[in-house]
């Protein structure tokens, strides 16, 4: 499993997501202006990663197309609530019912900017879009909570789960 963060604004979110990646054994790719755990943003990232930045395998790329070229044989799923996205729970249940659990090793879950999400330009290059079901008035969770939830659900729905 590889988590891809595209244009995430907050170094604190990146640090928290690093902790989640460490917990589930996922790699991390940071794209665009997403803060990296080096230089001027290191202090803010480690405030919430609390050491996970030392354990998580991560890379950064300037453009989303670089990630697609770097991992061409992976399934790339956007986690983004919109009119064409499918409920991740339903999707995973369907895969299990068909006896075709999702892959853990060859999957990238993409998460977009905290305000604007993934753009249509990025989304059109992905295998599809999935979302967490929401019951309350808010239409989304904080991106770090979403990464944790989606990664654990994917683990449960994969052969690794």
Domain ranges of the chain: 2-157
pLDDT mean over 125-137: 91
CA neighbours closer than 13 Å in the CB half-sphere of residue 78: 24
Tell me how far the alpha carbon of residue 155 is from its chain's centroid: 13
pLDDT mean over 132-161: 86
- Whole-number Å distance between alpha carbons of 18 and 50: 9
pLDDT digits (tens, 9 = 90+) for 72-116: 999 999 999 888 899 999 999 999 899 988 989 999 999 999 999
pLDDT digits (tens, 9 = 90+) for 30-78: 999 999 988 888 899 999 999 999 999 999 999 999 999 999 999 999 9
CA neighbours closer than 13 Å in the CB half-sphere of residue 139: 8
CATH number given to 2-157: 3.40.1280.10
pLDDT digits (tens, 9 = 90+) for 18-31: 999 999 999 999 99
């Amino acid at each position: 499993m590889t988590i891809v963060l595209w244009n995430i604004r907050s170094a604190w979110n990146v640090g928290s997501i690093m902790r989640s990646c460490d917990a589930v054994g996922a790699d991390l790719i940071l794209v665009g202006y997403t803060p990296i755990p080096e230089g001027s943003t290191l202090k803010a990232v480690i405030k919430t990663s609390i050491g996970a930045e030392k354990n998580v395998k991560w890379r950064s790329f300037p453009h989303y197309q670089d990630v697609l070229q770097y991992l061409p044989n992976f399934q790339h799923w956007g986690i983004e609530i919109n009119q064409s996205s499918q409920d991740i729970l339903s999707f995973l249940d369907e895969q299990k019912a068909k006896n075709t659990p999702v892959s853990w090793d060859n999957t990238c879950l993409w998460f977009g900017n905290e305000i604007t999400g993934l753009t249509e330009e990025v989304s059109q290059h992905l295998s599809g879009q999935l979302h967490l079901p929401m019951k309350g008035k808010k239409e989304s969770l904080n991106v770090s909570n979403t990464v944790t939830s989606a990664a654990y659900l994917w683990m449960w729905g994969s052969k690794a789960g």
